[in-house]
A = this chain, B = another copy of it.
């Protein structure tokens, strides 16, 4: 088997191409622009499973009406520091940045600003949203759950109840921002599907079979009955991950009052908790950055277990990957490039030139 080399493409031309495809599928320009930008942002930061790999899915959703073609969302309720929005199936790739703008404005006024959004289509990687807040000197926390999905077992169970729930934070420092984006389960559904496609086991037992055993065999995820994702903490400490999943779903599903029992099973629309904190409400803004930097410096100075692997700060890897790809082109595997070529053909929007 010959290993085929990755393809490199200039980031901006990929974004323009994706935007053209999305507009052709009916998305109004400001919506198409935001969607293309955030999908490409995921590729740039190395979150491949939430990048242009999902363009076809977004085009289909626009085509069949499960994702709205205009960027209309509704503010349902508000108090000084909080708002509840109904995204009305507009893409999260567009709505989440709008909500962060609103949350930043509330935080400047009140110290914190919170927006809970229900029915946002395809929020994708939370990591791509964080810098909008950190660039404004703000801390941000985002949690996301999916009322139409169940994939994660509560601790002690072998059947799923929670959705895969990502959790993200961002904070400015004196240097690179801190950008954390993790799932509250032992692995994410996308990683299991990737392992199945690559015919590999998971790197550790992150699934619980219908018999109640922890396994790293990804194919059990497609068995009938299927295995489910174990909560963070695993066999010994899964009550912690299970509690964190419950936290996420109380702060999203319960607050938005769109519960799992009310949602169409299988529906992909997300519920999102976004909270921005303005450090200047607590003290000098630059002094906050120095404090955040001191936390990062302390982590960097910890003695590594493996002398060749210094401790990494959340976001460091993603920002390095982005820097590299902005310089020398975004990487696509030959397989993904073939898929994108099919999209290009069906949308009659030729792909940009590949870099040498």
Interchain CB contact under 8 A, A277 and B260: no
Partner of A282, one of B212, B256, B279: B256
For residue A199, give the distance in angstroms from its CB to the closest CB of chain B: 21
Would B84 and A304 count as touching, CB distance under 8 A?
no
- Check A260–B294 contact: CB distance below 8 A: yes
Are A309 and B250 also in contact (CB < 8 A) when A236-B204, A281-B77, A291-B259 are? no
Smallest beta-carbon distance A296→chain B, Å = 8
User: Residues 132-171 of chain A: 1 if any B CB is under 8 Å from the residue's CB, otherwise 0?
Assistant: 0000000101000000000001111111110000000101
* Chain A 291-334 interface residues, beta-carbon cutoff 8 Å to B: 291-292, 294-295, 298-299, 301-306, 309-314
Q: Is the CB of B259 within 8 A of A279?
A: no
- Determine whether A343 belongs to the interface, using a CB cutoff of 8 Å to chain B: no
A226 within 8 A of B: no
Contact of A79 among B109, B141, B157, B259 (CB under 8 A): B109
Task: Please tell me which one of the listed residues B182, B186, B295 contacts residue A250 in the complex, with CB atoms under 8 A apart.
Answer: B295
Chain B residues whose CB sits within 8 angstroms of the CB of A313 once the complex forms: 246
Q: Closest CB of chain B to A188's CB: distance in Å? A: 12
A124 near B: Cβ within 8 Å? no
Contacts of A294 on B, CB cut-off 8 Å? 254, 259-261
**How often does this chain occur in the complex, in copies?**
2
Known: A203-B236, A295-B253. A314 touches B154 (CB 8 A): no
Main secondary structure of the interface of A (DSSP, over half): mixed
CA of A111 to CA of B255, assembled, Å: 11
Q: Which residues of B contact A176 (CB under 8 A)?
A: none
A80 contacts B80, CB within 8 Å? yes
A305 engages B158 (CB within 8 Å): yes
The answer on a CB contact under 8 Å between B169 and A250 is: yes
Which A residues, 329 to 352, have Cβ-Cβ distances below 8 Å to chain B?
none
- Asked if A287 is at the interface of the complex by the 8 Å CB criterion, the answer is yes
User: Could you list 19 examples of A-B contacts with CB < 8 Å?
Assistant: A77-B282, A79-B111, A79-B278, A114-B277, A156-B306, A157-B303, A157-B304, A157-B311, A158-B304, A161-B298, A161-B302, A182-B243, A204-B236, A232-B240, A239-B312, A246-B295, A257-B282, A260-B295, A260-B298
On A, residues with C-beta under 8 Å from B are 77-82, 84, 109-112, 114, 116, 139, 141, 153-161, 169, 171, 178, 180, 182, 186, 203-204, 208, 212, 232-234, 236-237, 239-240, 242-243, 246-247, 249-251, 253-257, 259-261, 275, 277-279, 281-284, 287-288, 291-292, 294-295, 298-299, 301-306, 309-314
17 further A-B pairs in the complex, CB-CB below 8 A; given A254-B291, A259-B295: A79-B109, A79-B111, A81-B112, A139-B251, A139-B255, A156-B302, A156-B309, A157-B299, A161-B298, A180-B243, A203-B236, A232-B233, A246-B295, A249-B295, A253-B291, A260-B295, A260-B298
